[in-house]
Structure 1
């Protein structure tokens, strides 16, 4: 058995508003299943994403499950999940085969999206958004993280921002950070020069220097927190001096998100979660965090 992280988000409209009705999860799964092979590989952020589905296979006495959408990043990096024409098996590469890295998604009541990535190179919430918007182009969606509003209280207690750490996966394009040019511009340059790679950026400001840089960075970080940028981050932390006494403090935005660790069974051939264990893990994570999810939904406003 192994552990994977499950994070929860809310599916909202492209206008940053709550959806008026439940997201058509069943219709999306059907559309993915019906895609012909020549249209199944969807280009996103200079990657190819291949979608598949997992339906319920209930057995008496078995753990609760949930239907899945599985998005694989198709690439040639050292991975062990092998894809050939939408079929998966252990590592035996033929000439026309590439490697695949999965992320597992499910949708629950109130348009809550659960995401479990296999690792940092697997598709993230940005890939789900872009994939869905390409398949259902007439009704685009956005993804908003379910977070604790302690993040806003922490920002209001910042006298001087001294550090900001941001990490994004290979599927995240710079344009999701349009509210912060300080963050967007270096990511855009790195994406243009390096392509689809994971990127980690650290910005440091001296607490004894000019307050202008700190104030500008704090404004940008606040825009990310109140907007949608943090939905696409794998790491987002700040270091700061506290308002009331000037003491150094840190705050991890993602640890405040609705997140849990799930235990999954790995496929012996690929050393990646089986579809069934991922389905059970996401169902259990939702049940375990039900109260936290409801609280985050009630606290959210668009």
Structure 2
């Protein structure tokens, strides 16, 4: 048996606006399914060069998508019991696929069944934005009152630790990716620990500026999909309401389930998808009462018309071409890709499909 985690996220924004109606997940799944049947290229290249590929695994009772990280460089080797190594036996044109599974549940919750190498939740946001023009904002589903506590916390210390063997810039994004990537070159054994503190000396305004910066880094850390790889993650500060000192364990604040899976099944492409769908459906049933108690209700119908057909290579090249054309024509650059109709309506139709 092997251990996998199921992380829970919520789509709280769409096209940079608060999302108060259901996300059109079923429509997305239908379009991806149709694109696969038509042989449409669904690969999307992220700004950092990561190649992503999504496909539909199920439409009911919840839409479930597979998201693969596609690799054809820096591939691992295979070997026998004596350590004799040889390249992976890939046929010409084959790629290594590292997979995560995404189930779109009620209340705009996404359940993500991950492995150590599969894409993080933020990668699904990249794919939906780049391939379909759907800019989504994802926030982690947290335990009961953690969000309230963190909002009141005047942070004075943030600290985390993880084994040196797990150090990798791929665990995080932004500034943290650079830190972990540099640390991975410094040490390969032991434990890497880092602490950010406001300090005791200095002017009040300087301390507040440091406190705000640490809070920004904490927010970035919390949005990463790989916190469970760390051994220790805490934020400490004064509760602005009670005046008490609070230590918040960020490893325990996320709503994450750990499940035991049959390693042989998950290594079998013919069986792994059905097993993943069954696990995610069970998680949806088991946690429905918690979501109903802690998350806002979502009313109305999804805006299915906002989801365009798949364009090979994604919507980004179209948006860039449209921006170039609009600027060349002397139109305000800020109107491109906002969903607003420019004179003649061409901009809206091109971007939205």
Whether TM-score is above 0.5 comes out as yes
CA drift at 1:21 = 2.5
Q: Is the 8 A contact 1:66 1:279 kept in 2?
A: no
Deviations 1:182-238 (A, max 9, x none): xx3x6468889x9xxxxx88334486665878754532343466x676222422822
Q: Is 1:52 the equivalent of 2:55? A: yes
Distance 1:79 1:98, change over 3 A: farther
Distance 1:204 1:30, change over 3 A: same
Structure 2 gaps of 5+ residues are 79-87, 185-191, 298-353
> Quick one: which of 206, 221, 224 aligns to 1:232?
224
Q: Is 1:136 the equivalent of 2:132? A: yes
How many residues are matched?
Answer: 263
TM-score by length of 2: 0.60
Cα distance in 1 for residues equivalent to 2:77 and 2:278: 24
TM-score by length of 1: 0.69
Distance 1:42 1:141, change over 3 A: same
Q: Is the 8 A contact 1:40 1:50 kept in 2?
A: yes
SS at match of 1:30: helix
Q: Which has the higher strand share?
A: 1
Cα distance in 1 for residues equivalent to 2:161 and 2:294: 24
CA RMSD of aligned residues (A): 4.1
- Kindly report which structure 2 residues correspond to 1:271-290, keeping only aligned pairs within 5 A, or say none: 274-290=272-288
Distance 1:142 1:56, change over 3 A: closer
Cα distance in 2 for residues equivalent to 1:205 and 1:115: 33
Cα distance in 2 for residues equivalent to 1:157 and 1:20: 28
Q: Is the 8 A contact 2:14 2:137 kept in 1?
A: yes
- Kindly report which structure 2 residues correspond to 1:60-139, keeping only aligned pairs within 5 A, or say none: 66-75=62-71, 76-78=74-76, 92-119=89-116, 121-137=117-133, 139=134
Structure 1 gaps of 5+ residues are 58-64, 81-90, 175-183, 195-199
CA drift at 1:98 = 2.2
Distance 1:223 1:298, change over 3 A: farther
CA drift at 1:2 = 2.7
Q: Is the 8 A contact 2:173 2:224 kept in 1?
A: no
CA drift at 1:152 = 4.1
CA drift at 1:102 = 0.4
Larger radius of gyration: 2
Q: Which has the higher helix share?
A: 2
